[in-house]
Each structure stands twice: as C-alpha cells, then as structure tokens.
Amino acid sequence: MNVLSKLEDYLEECKDAEKKKRVLDFYFAVRSFLNIHDIMDENYVIFSEMMEDGRFQIKLFCVNPAVNLQNYLEQGNSTIFFSATLLPVHYYKKLLSVEKDDYAVYAHSSFPQENKFLFIGTDVSTRYTRRGESTYQRFARYIAVMAEQKKGNYMAFFPSYKLMDDVWQVYQEEFSSGWVRCICQHASMTEREREEFLEEFTEESADTLVGFCVMGGIFSEGIDLTQDRLIGAMIVGTGIPQVCNEREILKQYFGAEGFDYAYLYPGMNKVLQAAGRVIRTRKDRGTILLMDERFTGRDYRMLFPREWNDAAVCILENVEQQLGAFWKMEEKKSTGRKKMPGI
C-alpha cells in the first residue's frame, strides 16, 4: 500500500479537525511531488540539500520546461507569448517551446525614445572584488547627484538587501539633505506596508523622494507609477543572481551556454524590469542610470532592447552635466508645448 493510500485512510477516520487539516496539507504536497516524479525525464534533475532552518530537502528540479509546456500548447490552435522583456529571444524560445518553426516578432516601442535619458556609470561595479566603503560611497554619490538635478520621485534598485543596506547607510551618513526624503524596502513587508510604500510616490510631493528597493522584488515588476509619480530609476549592478545549487545545475545542464542561461539572462531580465518602471506611457519622461561598468561590454550590449541603442556613458565627474542637459531640454520642450494653441 503506497503512502497516499495510507494518508487517505487516515483522513477518512480522523475526527480531529486541526490534525486533519495538517495531514491534508501534507497529503497534497506528497501527491504533487509524486505527480511530478511520474513525468520526470531528461529535463529534470533530482538533488538534495540542507535548508537554512536545518531541514533536509529533496527537489525535483525542472531545468527545461519546454516539453511540459508543449503538452499544453498542443491543446490550442496557437499560442502568443508577449512581454516587454522577452530578451534574448532565443533563450525564451528554447525554454517555452520545442517547435523549431516558432517565430518571434519584435514590436517597436510606441514611446518616444527622446523622452528618456539612458546612461551607464562606467566607474563603478558590483563585482565582489570591488565592493567596499569607497564603492558604496560612489553608488551613494550617484544617487545623490541624480536626485538633486530635478525635484521628483526616484527609485534605486539593488541586487540584494545586503548591498542596499550598505549603500543606504553611507547615503544617510554622507549625502542626506533636508529636501530629499528616502524610504527603504525591507524583507517580509505586509500587503499594507507595500501599499503605503507606493502611496509615497505622488505627483504633488513637495520634496524629492528616493525609494531604495531590491531588483526582482515587489517594486521592480508589475507596478505603474506614471508621469511624475516616478521620473528616474537607478540600477545598481547587473542583476546576476547569487550562486546556489539550482543555478549551478542550470549552468552544467546547458553546457557552453550554461552561465548565460543560469546567471546572465535572468539577471538582465531583472534589469529590464526595473528600468521599465520609468516610462509607462507616451507622456512619461525620465532618466535611467545603469551603474556598472559591465553594461558597456559586448555581452550586455547585445541584450539591450533596440530602444537602448542611444545609451550614453558617464562618470561621477560629468554625470551632473549630462543630467542637467537632459532636464533642461525637457523643460524647453514642455514650455513649447504649453505655448502651442490648444495645449
């Protein structure tokens, strides 16, 4: 008699509601595990590890979901996957379908390219060999300069809570000012705390606001802060995930492309998502600062959307000048629009 039958018999006989609920949760977890085990093939890897709380875990890890997805895709006449961050296309085609004749369409953005200023800080990096007090100071100074150029709301995105906390501390000690207010995301925020965080980003704010957030988190994806609710994003680092068992398994599974599939592409997806918070409508205008020298490399440039082909480069010594020029131009355009009849 298998474990599911034993559990089913127990659930039929159990009269204690609390015990029954706990066993029922366990029953569904076991059934889910066994269902996955039944469909396992070469696209799965079984591995075990010790969890942070000391528990032992066995995981059935689907490294390539394309075959499983295809079983569902074949039940329809056609399927369309669409997103603003399906880059690089070959990566998603390999993971989402087994059909060789699937094709991709790159739709041109409807947002005027001149409404944004995208630039790369080339004198900083989040490489572990470069981290330290001086690097944190440079990141904090970039944030301060960007926030001081134009009153408004900004978000600074970090690859981890640890790096965010380190830069936050330096910023508060060395660059804080009376007219720039800062708020910081923290782990395990409640739904109400998330709402209160976003409610701070108003168009009528009297001061400049900078939100310190984590890439890949709740504030870097799926939120719409249109027009003056957000006028700038500062992205610290390339978003590369931390090394872990799953990432290393993916790296080994995909061979020559292993590092790209396990680290580079997922990291760049986080960057694209965070940068996408700034321009949400045709009326939005804002700045996007990528803070890592690696963004100038060929591997990253090839992953940029077409709309990023005008990316500029900067260092701390000239970033103020470049930002000032962009906002001055935007001010002139805004004045011109107001003078036009009917505007």
Give the CATH number of the domain where residue 310 resides: 3.40.50.300
Q: Is the pLDDT of residue 204 over 90?
A: no
One domain, residues 143 and 279: yes
38 and 176 together in one domain: no
pLDDT per residue as tens digits for the range 12-62: 888 888 888 888 888 898 899 989 999 999 999 999 999 888 999 999 999
One domain for residues 25 and 153? no
For residues 130 and 199, membership in a common domain is answered with yes
Query: Is residue 330 domain-resident?
Result: yes
Better-scored residue on pLDDT, 233 or 101: 233
Q: Are residues 136 and 199 in the same domain?
A: yes
Residue where a domain terminates, one of 38, 60, 82: 60
pLDDT digits (tens, 9 = 90+) for 102-139: 888 887 877 888 889 999 999 999 998 888 999 999 99
Could you give the number of structural domains in the chain? Answer: 2
Domain finish residue from 16, 44, 60: 60
**Cβ count within 10 A of residue 308:** 18
- Its domain, for residue 34, covers 3-60
Of 214, 277, 237, the residue nearest 142 (C-alpha): 237
Same structural domain, 170 and 27: no
Q: Which of 19, 40, 60 is the last residue of a domain?
A: 60
pLDDT digits (tens, 9 = 90+) for 323-335: 999 999 888 877 6
What average pLDDT is seen over the chain? 90
Q: What is the pTM of this model?
A: 0.87
For residues 51 and 152, state if they share a domain: no
35 plus 140 within the same structural domain: no
Q: Is residue 107 part of a domain?
A: no
Q: Do 152 and 252 have their domain in common?
A: yes
- Whether 135 and 166 have beta carbons less than 8 Å apart is answered as no
- pLDDT score recorded for residue 84: 77
Distance CA(254)–CA(229), nearest Å, equals 41
The pair of structure tokens assigned to 137 is: 């100071």
- Cis before residue 88, ω within 30 degrees of 0? yes
**Does 193 or 225 have the greater pLDDT score?**
193
Asked, for residue 82, whether it belongs to a domain, the answer is no
Tell me what the mean pLDDT of segment 85-104 comes to.
87
Alpha helices in the chain (DSSP H): 3-13, 17-38, 66-73, 89-96, 133-149, 161-174, 191-199, 245-253, 258-259, 265-275, 298-301, 316-339
Same domain, 48 and 134: no
Q: What integer pLDDT is reported at residue 339 of this predicted model?
A: 58
* Residue 232 burial class via C-beta count within 10 angstroms: exposed 0-12, middle 13-18, buried 19 and up: buried
Considering the domain architecture, whether residues 150 and 232 belong to the same structural domain is answered as yes
The pLDDT value given to residue 214:
95
Q: Same structural domain for residues 51 and 166?
A: no
